[in-house]
Structure 1
Amino acid sequence: MEKLKLYNQEEMDQLRTRQDPLADLAVISLIESPDLAREINGWNQIPDPLPSHFPKVLREYFFFFQEAAELADPDLLKKGQEFFSQTGDIYLGLLGFYSLPYCYAFGDGAQVLVRSKRIVDEIGIRLAETGYFVMELFKPGGFYKDQSPYLTCAKVRLIHAYSRYFISHYATDWKVEYGAPINQEDMLGTNLAFSMIVLRGLTKMGYSIESETFQLVLSYWKWLGALLGVDVKFWPESPKEAFELDRLIRKRHMKSTKAGKRLISALAEYYKHNIPDQIVRNQVDSLFSFFLGKEASQVLGISSEINLPGSLVDLIFKFSGWKNYGSKKTYQKIRSMMETQQKEQFGKLIQLQIPVLERS
């Protein structure tokens, strides 16, 4: 319980001023030399040795991931990936119906998201990119056999740095009270949303999450968080610490904003028109309300006349999964279905690309 002493207003205030210097410096070099960004987008994994023509800050950035690979714990990674193989379809569903809306309810963090036109205007592609990102994070053998997920993490971290750069330099309506764009507190909260909040969603649906499973997911996301630029000094080591950190961030930042309502409205409309399963498509608002609870639903302006019981939500998710994957789910089945849906909807497979900004 050593982390509990860090979870106070003063520490969190400091985290709102801190970002990710390693990635932020690297992005400046990519903005100055867009051909390097194009080159990185052509990689399948981080090359070793690194290109000699890369500037020092960019070499240092990618060297961080090469060093991290030497510290990979195959036992932890294998167990985390096995957990996802067993729950992956529900995990992805919970990200869409719980984790993302939950992030929208935190008003200051939502200010960054709403300033990305792609999140509102190209929401389908953004959701596909998030799905691709998560599938890469849990790829069997990833990080200890297959090195490609390191490049995925490096790209996401750079994409965040691009967002920080453009908000800081060009967003004339950014207010100091929002905190620094994509700051360490918001990054901790997002990491919690992709880990603990998913487990909370499973619990709401009636699943019993053993303490070992909870600890496994926290440990896996500690590893991922470090790769994504999170200061893991503040990452919870136990369920109790995770609950307390979430409660503190919730108390500090859950509030009604135009940004949050715009984001949830765009997400709901996309789901209602694009989710293949009609049962799920007809219950979008009810599912949001079920997972988010009263406070967060009110903050986002979500109203539902139907109060779904957890057993019914579980049945809806299971039925959808059974139709897609049959009686046996595997990582490969989940990924294959995701890629099929992408081809049908977008005419191509979605991957992560860092911006290539041609200088005028």
Structure 2
Amino acid sequence: MPRTDTPTDDLRLSGDELADSVVATLFERGEVGTFNTLMRFVTTAGQDLPEGLPDVAREYLRETSAPPSWVDWNEMEKARLFFIDNNVHISTALSFASMPACYLVPHVAKLLSATHGLSYPSRRMAETGQFTVHLMQPDAFEAGGRFLPAAQKVRLLHAAIRHHLIREDRWDTAALGVPICQEDMIGGQMFFSILVLDSLHRLGIHMTTDGAESYYYAWRVVGAILGVDQDAVPRTLAEARRFLDLYMLRHMGPSDEGAHLTRQLIDLYEEVVPGTFFDPIVSALIRHLVGDTCADWLRVPRTAWDTVVKAVPRLLGVLETIEDRSPLGAWALDRLGHLTTVLELSSLTRGRVMHYAIPEELKKDYGVTNTVPRAKRWTPPPATVS
């Protein structure tokens, strides 16, 4: 498919041919349960696959066991260092901007409602956090790394959701396109890359252009591993800006599902924040990062902290000054950021390792029905004019 920096209807009709074929075969042969049981033991790249694994799954795992041949490993290392230097800020952006942004697209919010466990609403955040931490480890793509097996499972998870929604006639493909279609997967790639960079800029975090481009490049690699057609993905940050702006203008809006998922997200993070005095900062930070219009669509409550949170960039600026002027301070802040990220992930996972299994069915009661140097600091590309 030719590369584009604007959303197209063709992208809404395409899923992931390889993963879709594997999942369809597993269901046809009644091998999903066997696959899920055995794949719990497949956690690191390069390990021997268990005996009894269905042949179609074994072949899929072999075919997808390596990153794309075009990967520039120097860029990937720069992206990893960028993540280490900004890990707590990136986690904040993912939690308070990227996830709510997913809920701003009504058909995506409806789809996510089909896969959320209402008794465990932190699951998706835990899976996302664990996935990102695996990605930015030094051995992410080497034997013993945990990222590639996780990505292989996530790709099949997406295919399983497509399989269920289409087979059970719970998705209006004519109106909405294929569930988790290529356009939405590219949109998700933008949410977790350029929207994170936008949020870091909004928080006042210093970034070089080189660092921002490397971080975006890493998510292009991730997208390729997850089955996103990179021939259709924007190559530069400027092209990504145009795609994301037009995608959001085309699809974003209010929905009951989006508001409900956002409420779950706010409740989740209010549980993580110690005590109750600082609870309103959760809503205030979401509102600050996504803007008032989007926050109103998601029914994010207004609080007295909405003004206070605007001081966050100045506080982070002080911390960056300490980091720049003191090697010991830089080391201490990096360690604090790492520990904060680990603590946050531990709170979300509740001490469990998250397994990305193929769902054998979707919950009927989730209501998925047919519907329609400082001087060289990086600054976001200008917004696309509609």
Task: Tell me which residue corresponds to 2:347.
Answer: 341
Aligned to 1:297: 295
CA distance in structure 2 between the aligned counterparts of 1:48 and 1:89, rounded to whole angstroms: 31
1:271 and 2:274 are equivalent in the alignment: no
Superposed CA offset, 1:47-78 (max 9, x none)? 56766865553233212323437655432222
Change (3 A) 1:152 1:213: same
AA aligned to 1:179 is: G
CA 1:215 to 1:280, structure 2 compared with 1: closer, same or farther past 3 Å? farther
C-alpha separation in 2, matches of 1:61 and 1:330: 39
C-alpha change, 1:115 and 1:204, in structure 2 (3 Å) is same
| Distance in 1 between residues matched to 2:46 and 2:224, nearest whole Å | 20
RMSD of Structure 2 on Structure 1 (CA): 3.1
Pair 301,332 (structure 1): closer, same or farther in 2 beyond 3 Å? closer
Q: How many residues align?
A: 345
How far apart, CA to CA, are the structure 2 residues paired with 1:247 and 1:317?
Answer: 28
Measured after TM superposition, the shift of residue 187 of structure 1 is 0.6
Change (3 A) 1:77 1:114: same
Q: Which runs of 5+ in 1 are unaligned?
A: none
In structure 2, list runs of 5 or more residues that go unmatched: 324-330, 362-386
Q: Which amino acid aligns with 1:59?
A: R
**What amino acid sits opposite 1:312 in the alignment?**
V
| AA partner of residue 343 (structure 2) | M
More helix by share: 1
1:24 aligns with 2:20: yes
Contact 1:139–1:331 (Cα < 8 Å) also in 2: no
Q: Deviations over 1:270-324 (max 9, x none)?
A: 22233337565221221111100133223222342533564325638999xx9xx
- Quote how far apart the aligned CAs of 1:335 are: 5.7
Moved more, 202-211 or 63-72: 63-72
Q: Provide the TM-score with structure 1 as the length reference.
A: 0.84
Q: What percent identity do the matched residue pairs reach?
A: 24
Partner of 1:113: 112
Shift of 1:209: 2.9
* Pair 317,108 (structure 1): closer, same or farther in 2 beyond 3 Å: farther
CA distance in 2, matches of 1:317, 1:54: 52
For structure 1, which segment, 205-214 or 154-163, has the greater mean C-alpha deviation from structure 2 after superposition? 205-214
Distance 2:129 2:180 in 1: 20
Q: 2:9 aligns with which of 4, 7, 13?
A: 13
Task: Quote the Cα distance in structure 1 between the aligned partners of 2:277 and 2:224.
Answer: 38
What SS is found at the alignment partner of 2:133? helix
Q: Distance in 2 between matches of 1:257 and 1:202?
A: 27
Aligned to 2:357: 354
Letter of the aligned partner of 1:66 in structure 2? Answer: S
CA distance in 1, matches of 2:255, 2:345: 35
CA distance in 1: counterparts of 2:251 and 2:89, whole angstroms:
27
The residue matched to 1:172 in structure 2 has which SS?
coil
Residues 1:133 and 1:167: Cα distance change in structure 2 (over 3 Å): same
In 1, are the aligned partners of 2:106 and 2:251 still within 8 Å (CA)? Answer: yes
In 1, Cα distance between equivalents of 2:20 and 2:337: 33
Aligned to 1:311: 311
Alignment CA distance shift 1:94-1:24 (3 Å):
same
Deviation per CA, 1:216-241: give whole Å up to 9, x if none. 11111111100011111122221210
1:157 aligns with: 155
